[in-house]
Structure 1
Amino acid sequence: MRWEEVCEHKQLQDLPFKVELNKWGQIVMSPVKIKHSFYQGRIQRLLESFLNTGEVMPECAINTSDGVKVADVV
């Protein structure tokens, strides 16, 4: 499966959770965990403290040779 197919698939629209594709085109569902969000925020603040210029972004999409991946913080 490709990401475009995921976006167009009626049963995968408006889900209350995040889905991603692994490098084999299989859907991977990640459960929401509050602790994960807590750590994302801490990492984002830590990265910002080291920057003189630039931006820190949570949940950033990255196009890779295995397809689009979403980094927690960049």
Structure 2
Amino acid sequence: MNWASTINNPFLKNLPFKIELDKWGKILMSPASNNHGSLQFETGVKIRDAKKGKGKVITECSIQTSL
């Protein structure tokens, strides 16, 4: 991927964070901030409390997708 195709990609427009391309054209995203992690935790606590301990809250949950 080059910069021109990146800025013209409709899926990458109006992102609320910065992205960069490395020299191989791979997209690099800015790491999440401490504030982001804190908000995730607080949101998870509220969900857990609302569910009265039933179920599980996972933040930064990984998923596997096809290539």
TM band (smaller chain): 0.3 to 0.5
Length-normalised TM-score, structure 1: 0.42
Report the structure, 1 or 2, having the larger strand content: 1
Structure showing greater radius of gyration is 2
Which structure is richer in relative contact order (CA contacts within 8 A, separation 6 or more)? 1
Length-normalised TM-score, structure 2: 0.46
